[in-house]
Amino acid sequence: MVLLNFSWLEGDSIAACAYPTSNDALADLEAHGIALVINLAERPHDPEALARHGLVELHLAVPDFTPPTPEQLEQGTAAIERARASGQRVVVHCAAGLGRTGTLLAAYLVHGGMAPAEAIAHLRALRPGSIETPEQRAAVEAYARRRAPRPKA
């Protein structure tokens, strides 16, 4: 396997890794049955290289060591939901597969009902080093607040 920092988050439907930089790394994604690549790095993949391996990219460019925006977290979690609903496997990556990747994956766990602290702890147990900055942690907490039901007046 050429993929760096690759691991499954939920069974074998959602994975994370470092930026797959080579044709061999893309071939590894294909071998794992990945269909959707959610790329949080600033640099997009070559569309032709992805197509050769049956991969589709959702590129949500996020500067290194910053959190995805609220809109990017919504787009990313919705894309994971759609892919899972259609039986597709998903991989999320940034550069190292920790900060930006961890932020989106923790938001996805919050989307599924986990509290932010629980989601971050769960993710860090599976992928040590995930969520690298206080701003990334705050983005997960803010995502949870936006999703919380509002009290009726």
Catalytic residues: 94
Chain-centroid distance, C-alpha 105 = 5
H-helix or E-strand containing 152? none
Residues 6 or more apart in contact with residue 25 via CB below 8 angstroms: 2, 3, 4
CA distance 70 to 51: 29
Cα gap 150→33, rounded to integer Å: 39
What distance in Å separates the CA atoms of residue 85 and residue 120, rounded to the nearest whole number? 24
